[in-house]
Amino acid sequence: MSLPFTVRGTRLVDPVDGERFLLATTVGHGLGSSRLRLDRGQPGEVRLVRVEVRGGAVRLVQESKHHLGAGSFAESTLFAGPLVDGAVDVEGLLVSDLHGVAGILAAGGHGDHRFDTARSHLAEVRVSAEGAHWSTVLTLTGPGTSAELVRVVPDARWVTVGVEVTAIPLPDEGFVPRRYDPASGSYAKGHADHDRIGHGVEVRFQPRFRTDRTVVFHVDPRIPQPYRDAVVEGGRWWRQAFAAAGLPDAFDVRVRADDVDAFGPRTSSVSWVHRAGRGWSQGGALTDPRTQEILRGQVRLGSHRVEQLTLLAEALLTPYGRPDEAERLAAVERFVLARLRHLAAHEIGHALGFVHNYASTKHAKPSVMDYPHPRLRLRDGRIDLAGAYSAGVGPWDEFLVRHGYADDETPSGLVFVTDADGHAPDAAHPDAVPWTSGDDPFTTLAELLEVREVALGEFSRGALARDRQVGDLEPRLVVLHLLHRHEVAALARLVGGVAHQGSPDSPAAEAVAPDDQRRAVEALLPLLDAEVAGVPASAVAVLLPPPPRFERDDQTYAPRTGPVFDPVVAVAAGAAVVLEPLLEPARLNRLHEQAVPGLSVEDLVGRVLRAAANGEDRRQGEVAGEAVRRVVATLTSGRLHDAVADEVHAALLEAARAFETSRPGLARRLHVFGEDGTVPGTPAVLPPGAPW
């Protein structure tokens, strides 16, 4: 099909009354911070727009894509203008905040911004058989007080971004929508069809491409080598899944040629995005709102991931200045490239229409749609990075393509748990913890603790290249110190854990076996020993404060010792790795309801407090203090059931009595809390633990 008008610059010539087209936006020139949610390549809304020609005027009317029911739901008139000599000039629509930049900034707490017409303009127009494409430069005026905007915008009072506006013809007929199945591992998009009253008005489809032509993702040629080849190779892993589904020619990944428009109406792109600091890579798609046919995929790979992965690998191997420096640096590069392959496959998977599966470590081979933590082991006493990340698609990925693109209804037979049960602190599913590796969390945690002990013991200035500023050693030490945090969360998830699935034919929800819950607690409590929770003195001795003109960022601990590293804050953070997930209010509420023999809430909290206070290390008091702060924070959160709060309170009173001789300072603070509700301090703040 073609557009219902001819495009000449900003004019729409001979618009056809009553015909429809799709109008989409994409960020073409971003802001350089994932926190601002305005990256280059970020897709916006796809609008279903109807042309109306009435009495010498043209209106472009956006139809509701969420509710179908003629005359019953509101529409939005995006533009109205005079028809002059058979054409209407729509520059006023094109050079406007169609993408909703002001709303995105306001929602993120970055202030109220107004579109500035005088500082905005149309930069370029491109027209092809696939549609029309306008590149615009937009400026929004705001208060200039947002710290994040100040960090990345030259003058934060005037925020200038590039937005690509695309008019796309309605897709040709022949696409068959795929009804959404909760067990499919796909996204669900759709609408309410109110003509179906009595039969369920909700209509949800699985987004997917057509397969009568090869789906090609075009990789940004600006990605430097060898990372570009890794991205192409990892993206092509999906060819295996399509071939297994009987669609061997349906998918490919290529480096974008010079004559391919990265923002073309039907161009699926993998963009290399620079940001000021750590951030998420993302995959998405623009879809036809009527059928959820994917029109183009939009993948953004954050270049800073290379820095983060290199930091971790260098911290583990301390390669610099060793006799085998070249060999170790080669291992660092292999590690980074292995993760980039997986990352490319993962984000392209999102653009193909697939969601996360955080339970794939239970499969014969992990899915690329999981969040992987490197599987680290010792080999002959040395840290080995070989095989840290799996290569190629797994059985779940083959199921995704088979079900979504080959219309095979055969159930996967594999456990599937996605975002709602993965990221949230109150999540209950024991198999859905992101950033874990291995199918047995007990074994994996034990392996990781061994690696962590060796890495912390061997930590030296060899973790940092000689041309880097010495303050960069500290974030390398912090990632080693917190290396086990996600596997700890996996064990904590067993306590009060409940396994469940979202499919209609799924078995009933089932609590984690009592033996596994008690075993998890037994494995976690020793980590509250200050020797484990803290940083070895030998590692602390390596560190130096950041030099002049360099500052710490949120990837390190906030010291209370001025410019020098604070080992007391570090030991509190090490304790928080265990305490934060274990004392989550929802977990304690579930534990109470499950009535696990030998593991009441009062018993758990009491054991946590005793373990935190039990140790000869001079830093043990800080662990105990952090435990008290965490328990009190849980008690005062307002999220505990009354009966559970009573148990937590009883455990605190018992601890106060026990601490009167061993920890008198803590006992006094607990008594004061019991008397007037004074909270004994603020829990430690952990640096971000993701993405990896």
Residue 453 has φ and ψ, to the nearest 5°, of -60, -45
Whether 426 contacts 584, CB under 8 Å: yes
Instruction: Look at residues 310, 461, 457, 306 and name the one whose alpha carbon lies nearest to residue 383.
Output: 457
195 pLDDT band (50/70/90 cuts)?
confident
504 pLDDT band (50/70/90 cuts)?
low
What is the model's pLDDT at position 422? Answer: 86
505 pLDDT band (50/70/90 cuts)?
low
d(CA 231, CA 76): 41
d(CA 390, CA 377): 14
d(CA 414, CA 364): 10
d(CA 110, CA 263): 27
Mean pLDDT of 294-316: 97
Mean pLDDT of 651-673: 86
- Per-residue pLDDT tens over the stretch 122-173: 999 999 999 999 999 999 999 999 999 999 999 999 999 999 999 999 999 9
Percentage of residues in the chain having pLDDT higher than 90: 85
Mean pLDDT of 508-535: 96
Beta strand ranges found along 19-65 (DSSP E): 20-29, 43-54, 57-62
> Would the pLDDT of 677 be above 80?
no
d(CA 38, CA 287): 20
> Would the pLDDT of 502 be above 70?
no
Q: Give 338's Cβ-side CA count (13 Å radius).
A: 19
Mean pLDDT of 507-516: 92
> Would the pLDDT of 676 be above 80?
no
d(CA 480, CA 455): 7
- Per-residue pLDDT tens over the stretch 242-262: 999 999 999 999 999 999 999
d(CA 319, CA 337): 17
> Would the pLDDT of 236 be above 70?
yes
SS3 482: coil
Mean pLDDT of 534-551: 94
- Per-residue pLDDT tens over the stretch 73-107: 899 999 999 999 999 999 999 999 999 999 999 99
What is the model's pLDDT at position 503? Answer: 62
What is the model's pLDDT at position 391? Answer: 97
Terminal-to-terminal C-alpha distance of the chain: 43
647 pLDDT band (50/70/90 cuts)?
very high
- Per-residue pLDDT tens over the stretch 378-396: 999 999 999 999 999 999 9
662 pLDDT band (50/70/90 cuts)?
confident
Q: Which CATH superfamily is domain 174-416 in?
A: Collagenase (Catalytic Domain) (3.40.390.10)
> Would the pLDDT of 610 be above 80?
yes
Instruction: Look at residues 682, 546, 545, 549 and name the one whose alpha carbon lies nearest to residue 626.
Output: 682
Bridge partner residues of 62 (DSSP): 49, 76
> Would the pLDDT of 218 be above 80?
yes
> Would the pLDDT of 542 be above 80?
yes
What is the model's pLDDT at position 567? Answer: 96
> Would the pLDDT of 200 be above 90?
no
409 pLDDT band (50/70/90 cuts)?
confident
What is the model's pLDDT at position 618? Answer: 84
Mean pLDDT of 433-462: 96
- Per-residue pLDDT tens over the stretch 129-142: 999 999 999 999 99
d(CA 53, CA 16): 7
What is the model's pLDDT at position 670? Answer: 83
454 pLDDT band (50/70/90 cuts)?
very high
Question: Domain-by-domain residue ranges, the chain?
Answer: 6-169, 174-416, 423-446+474-692
Q: pTM of the prediction? A: 0.95
- Per-residue pLDDT tens over the stretch 257-292: 999 999 999 999 999 999 988 889 999 999 999 999
Question: Which long-range contacts (C-beta less than 8 Å, at least 24 apart) are formed by 66-71?
Answer: 66/191, 66/192, 67/191, 67/192, 67/194, 68/191, 68/192, 68/193, 68/194, 68/195, 69/193, 69/194, 69/195
